[in-house]
Amino acid sequence: MNSNENVVSIVIPPGELQQVINKLQEIASILKPFLIALTPDERKSIPKMSDKTQPFVEKALDYAQSNPEFTPAYMSVPELQIDMKAVQDLTAVLQLLQPMCDNVNDTTMLSGSEAYLAALTYYNSVKHAAKSNIPSAKAIYDDLSKRFEAQKAKGKKQD
């Protein structure tokens, strides 16, 4: 992609945006009683079932049902069934949501990149105008240059 190329030029009509937000809030409300939020530490510490692990878990469930004599007393096969059904159900939801989330994220990222590049273009034009002592350019430059003060200070420390 060329940095000067404007790839994203979308305007979502307010009514349609509100429809999307309303429907997503409705979905969130429906799913809320069934969802759990983990802390970052919990996410790191729990064993995770991946695509390769899922067939193992399904096979173990099948064996636990057909050969219950090997099931420890402290393990609940019905709870294992419930957990596997939750995985299957939520995976179906996730498979619908994930591509949409990825596309919303990508479009937001690209729109933000284009907006930032345009703002930098304007900033550099104002910077040049301020150096040329064009009236009112210095005030705009001083205001916009605040965004880069931390980078300037960092650069001076490294010198």
The model's pTM is: 0.76
Q: What is the mean pLDDT of residues 119-146?
A: 95
Output DSSP code: residue 104.
Answer: H
pLDDT (tens digit per residue) in 43-75: 999 999 998 999 999 999 999 999 999 999 999
Distance CA 112, CA 105 (A): 10
Are the CB atoms for 61 and 77 separated by under 8 Å?
yes
Question: 117, 1 in Cβ contact below 8 A?
Answer: no
Domain residues for the domain of 133 are 14-158
3 pLDDT band, cuts 50/70/90, is low
Cα(29)–Cα(96) distance, integer angstroms = 17
Q: Report the pLDDT averaged over residues 128-137.
A: 95
Domain-located, residue 9: no
| Number of domains observed in the structure of the chain | 1
Whether 4 maps to a domain, the answer reads: no
Buried b (16+ CB within 10 A) or exposed e, 76-95: eeeebeeebeeeeeeeeeee
